Amino acid sequence: MSRTPKATELPNRIQELRLASGMSLEDVAEAVGSTSSTVSKLERGRLRLTSDWMFRLAPALGVAPSDLLPQAHQEVAAERSISLDVPALMPKATIEPADVEIPATSRFSRDLPVLGTAGGAVIRQVDGFRMEHEVVDYVRRPPALAKQLNAYAIFVVGESMAPMHNPGDLRFVDPEQRPSIGDSVIVQTKHFDTDPGQGYIKILKRRTPTYIVLQQLNPAATLEIPAQYVVSVHKVLTMNDLFGV
């Protein structure tokens, strides 16, 4: 029988704060638009607690992002900032916050399909994943995709695109938006009729009538794919895309 780790044995305080607030793994997962499995992996250190995850989890748990760190890290951070007069160093605000209502996540329909699986594969040091025909999960639909019926999401696997796209990150894709050079893209390939297909999240570097060139960050690699094997090239939406900035 597996033993439940003590709070002091865990790499962060997510579980401690979640239990203190009376929330289940499912409650936290729904609040951040993820899955209970992913939240559990973050709690136990099986997924890296990135700054992106910290800023997503903290509001759900009702704490500051730094509160998710182990106690030792918090004390070090406090010691380093104790002599700083932060308000005096910060410039005075010259603009007023917009008088708009921030929509609650509960108003977003949980009907956006997740198509990427966690089953990764590496071909010539190029990290990819399988794109399933069946939906593997559903997440909340951002307002910008309210009318985009073909939109979908994927969970990033592997560290080939970190820190741009870290393992466990949720990414939204709109097949209707044509990607530009330099955009992150999801490329689906198929080499023969019975090939289940391979998906890649990479940076689009070049596109011609006969091939496309993709860039990977870790390890640095360039992948050139003949156009005849490319099923689709879809744009990965940025925060600006999702919020209309």
3-state SS class at 86: helix
CA-angle at 167, arms to 165 and 169, nearest 5°: 60
Local confidence pLDDT in tens for the 245 residues of the chain: 455 556 556 788 999 999 998 999 999 998 888 898 999 989 888 888 887 788 889 888 988 887 888 764 444 444 444 444 445 555 555 656 655 555 566 667 788 888 865 334 444 455 566 665 567 788 888 888 888 888 988 888 778 888 888 888 889 999 988 899 999 999 888 877 766 677 888 999 999 999 999 999 888 888 898 999 888 899 999 888 887 65
pLDDT digit string (tens) for 112-139? 888 865 334 444 455 566 665 567 788 8
Beta strands in 73-135 (DSSP E): 112-114, 116-123, 126-131
CA-angle at 141, arms to 136 and 144, nearest 5°: 135
Exposure pattern of 62-81 as b/e (b: 16+ CB <10 Å)? ebebebbbeeeeeeeeeeee
**What is the 8-class DSSP label of residue 93?**
P
Closest by Cα among 181, 177, 169 to 207: 181
The domain 7-81 is placed in CATH, from the list 3.40.50.880, 2.40.30.170, 1.20.120.80, 1.10.260.40, at 1.10.260.40
Check if CATH label 2.10.109.10 holds for domain 110-243. Answer: yes
The Cα 13–Cα 15 span in angstroms is 6
Domain boundaries, the chain: 7-81, 110-243
Distances (CA, A) of 77 to 50, 72, 73, 82, 204: 17, 9, 6, 9, 39
Which amino acid is present at 96? Answer: E
Cβ atoms 161, 217 nearer than 8 A = yes
